Chains A and B, each alone.
Chain A
Amino acid sequence: MITMKKGLIKWFSGMTIGALLLTTAGCGGGAAPAANSGSQSGEAAKIGVISYLTGGGAAYGQAIKEGLDLAKEEINAQGKVKVDLIYEDSRGDKTEAINAINKLINKDNVVGIIGPTLSGEMFAAGPIADQAGVPIMGTSTTAEGIPALGNFVFRNALPEFLAVPQAVEKAISTYNLKKVAVMYSNNNDWAVSGYKTIESTLKKNGVEIVATETFADKDTDYSAQLTKIASLKPDAVMVSSLYQEASLVLKKAREIGITVPFVGTNGFNSPELIKIAGAAADGAIVASPWFPGKQDEKVQKFIADYKAKYNNKVPDQFAAQAYDALYIYASALEQAGSTTDRQKLRDSIAAIKGFQGVTGKFAFDEKREPVMSATVLIIKDGQFTELK
């Protein structure tokens, strides 16, 4: 009896696994022709994309993918150059990113790479692309020192050390700040780097820091830190964290009666912040290269197209920067006149000047850092508006 039962279980789970494998194999087969159809029309440039598509940060990876897909359709429809995107998931893990980049470079023979999503992944993957001589461009990697990884490493994400000072300085001049409190998430590389920028900007402008409080990603209780800050009565609070933590900080702060403006790093720059914090988000200030309310034909067209393609979703900055990144590649490919020459592509990316994208005017400086200006935004009545 027991052996029979065991045999049955074995048989059953064998079937289940078999079925699972079959369905996934089917999925793979279904996706393949779609990917190939782009390359049939002659020599499409193969561009590899490494993105955070599954796991905790999949929302960012998804936005990036959507932005890229939209740009790809438009570029291929215009027909000046043809591009083909090959996606690889990195799960936000550096060894996965290393494997993905090696696959793209050596197996798929891509001409250039977009991604990875996180700065930590870029620190591991960037040098590999550089050694192999393949241009790589991060669309969301804002930590300091990324293009310094090598001559082939670019980014079109406005780094924190360029964006944050604009917001901080604007807030200082608008609100005449004398003493401020600073809060940051100390277990997030990107937030720490944002904090350092805030600190140095404040020092440069002679603003006194009355308190520096830390918390960790995924914390939910900020009352201890905020009570201390409230007792010091600062003119403003500067926060460096992702939007999840930032919204909870704002909520709690308003609850215990801190009404001063909050200046944030890029984490504040998300519609989710307003969704979670609600009215508490009012008075939050952030500098962003991407501003959906901008009265610009290109921006409005992008938003309309994006909404039409993706179920009325408003593009966030990840989508916008990814969208621009592929256009930068396209115009560089056009300049290079080749869809396979990596060196030529690298040189023409480096030479990009006066590119007009949805995140504004764009160029690379000699260190391959983006030259672009940010708009300082403030949340008013649940809306991002320009701080003037």
Chain B
Amino acid sequence: MAILLNQYYLQIAVFVMVNAILGVSIYLTLSTGQLSLGNAGFMSIGAYTCAILTVKAGLPVYLAIPLGGVAASFISIIIGFPALRLTGIYLAIATLGFGEVVRVIVLNLKITNGALGISGIPTLGTKIGKILSSFGMSKFGGFSAQQVSTLLVLVILLLVLAFLIFFCIRLNRSRVGRAFAAIKADESAAEAMGINTTYYKLLAFALGALIAGIAGGLSAHLTFFIGPKDFAYHRTVEILLYAVLGGSDLVIGPIVGALILTLLPEVLRSASNYRLMIYGALLVTMMAFRPQGLISEETVRYWKGKLGRGSKQ
């Protein structure tokens, strides 16, 4: 137990959670069959809005993070109207361009401090630590205050993630979820059935942006510092990879993808210079053998059949 509560493992677990939330955000846009590469851009909007609100305006974190999400979602609706007229690869290119535009705007604004980024962002861990110490608690049965506060951050993130998973599962069984699935299967057919495709596509897009914005706000408050480089093109690819590796049929897919892809570089740390090579090789193998991702509906059905009733989902 004491080994598991090592700050190093806790920190990795925290990053896994944030990335899993990002995985949910890409899942939501993918659930209507739209390949959007704007998630890093929305994450950036969320992170910066949130960081500026807490550092410069002194807003409490629990208000600033949802506000960051709302800001990202708002922007997504504005750009969503024209962008969602595009489909497939064209939408991907347009949203990729959007991400770059956000990065360059952030780079040139005064309030975002340009390339220098915003440093000295209070982290959730230190905030919780302060609250704990104000209650006069500094030791917790052999664990340091730092460990306990990181653990609490982890619990908060876990709750957020659990809520998102619950939300997605409920969504899938609702009218909205059925509409998403219909659009994903065949947009023209869905339209012929009387589904307002623009509305539902925009809804999925905005929900994805909201969650990406929240994840951005969370990550700003976990890493002390954000700069424009953090939300560049490579971040988008990383987020997309969660869905590619894990599969985008079910919400659990991108989450598993995020888990594996966040843990992998750390597990491979002992391989030092070779670790990125191994990482790349694994992804190529994935593409070759399971292009649908690790977890698809068939996988779940297969395991359900094998394990009998009462397994996952």
What is A's interface to B at a CB cutoff of 8 Å?
A: 9-10, 13, 16-17, 20-21, 23-25, 27-28, 31, 53-54, 87-89, 91, 94-96, 98-99, 102-103, 105-107, 120, 123-124, 126-128, 131-132, 143, 145, 149, 186-189, 191-193
Contacts and interface: CB of A to CB of B under 8 A. Distances in A.
Interface of B: 6-8, 11-12, 15, 107-108, 114-117, 119-120, 123, 126, 146, 223-225, 227-230, 265-266, 269-274, 276-278, 281-282, 285, 288-289
Given A103-B8, A124-B225, A187 B115 contact: yes
A120 B225 contact: yes
A358 to B, nearest CB: 28
A53 B108 CA distance: 30
Contact of A105 (B7, B123, B288): B7
Given A24-B271, A89-B273, A123 B8 contact: no
B83 to A, nearest CB: 25
A98 B289 contact: no
A94 B230 contact: yes
A143 B277 CA distance: 32
A64 to B, nearest CB: 15
Given A20-B277, A123-B225, A187-B107, A132 B7 contact: yes
A10 B123 CA distance: 46
Given A17-B285, A95-B15, A28 B272 contact: yes
Nearest to B289: A10
Contacts of A99: 8, 11-12, 15, 265-266
A27 B274 contact: yes
A308 B278 CA distance: 34
7 contacts: A31-B272, A94-B227, A106-B6, A106-B8, A123-B117, A123-B225, A187-B115
A193 B11 contact: no
A145 B225 CA distance: 13
B11 A98 contact: yes
B36 to A, nearest CB: 23
A120 B227 contact: yes
A96 B266 CA distance: 9
Report the 3 A-B pairs with minimum CB-CB distance, sorted nearest first.
A123-B225, A102-B8, A123-B119
A128 B146 CA distance: 10
B223 A94 contact: yes
Contacts of A89: 272-273
B116 A193 contact: yes
A107 B6 CA distance: 8
B223 to A, nearest CB: 5
Contacts of A9: 288
A120 B114 contact: no
A187 B227 CA distance: 10
A134 B272 CA distance: 24
A54 B115 contact: no
B6 A145 contact: no
B276 to A, nearest CB: 6
A364 to B, nearest CB: 21
B117 A120 contact: yes
B271 A102 contact: no
A186 B108 contact: yes
A339 to B, nearest CB: 21
A99 B114 CA distance: 26
B11 A102 contact: yes
Contacts of B271: 24-25, 27-28
Contacts of A95: 15, 223
Given A87-B272, A186-B114, 18 more contacts: A20-B281, A23-B274, A24-B271, A54-B276, A94-B223, A94-B225, A98-B15, A99-B8, A99-B15, A102-B8, A120-B117, A123-B117, A123-B224, A132-B7, A145-B119, A149-B119, A186-B107, A187-B107
B288 to A, nearest CB: 7
A145 B108 CA distance: 21
B145 to A, nearest CB: 10
A53 B274 CA distance: 11
Contacts of B15: 95, 98-99
A62 to B, nearest CB: 11
A220 B13 CA distance: 42
A300 to B, nearest CB: 33
A9 B289 CA distance: 10
Contacts of B272: 27-28, 31, 53, 87, 89
A143 B8 contact: no
A189 to B, nearest CB: 4
A337 B268 CA distance: 36
Nearest to A193: B116
A197 to B, nearest CB: 12
B307 to A, nearest CB: 25
Of B11, B15, B281, chain A has the most CB atoms within 10 Å of the CB of B11
B115 A189 contact: yes
A27 B12 CA distance: 25
Contacts of A91: 276
B116 A17 contact: no
Nearest to A92: B229
Nearest to A185: B115
A107 B12 CA distance: 13
Of B108, B227, B282, chain A has the most CB atoms within 10 Å of the CB of B227
A150 to B, nearest CB: 10
A13 B290 CA distance: 13
A188 B115 CA distance: 5
A98 B223 contact: yes
B223 A102 contact: no
Contacts of A10: 289
Contacts of A96: 265
A155 to B, nearest CB: 15
Contacts of B126: 131
Of B115, B117, B266, B273, chain A has the most CB atoms within 10 Å of the CB of B115
A88 B273 CA distance: 10
A192 B114 contact: yes
B115 A105 contact: no
A191 to B, nearest CB: 7
B13 to A, nearest CB: 11
Contacts of B8: 99, 102-103, 105-107
A375 B11 CA distance: 43
Contacts of B227: 94, 120, 189
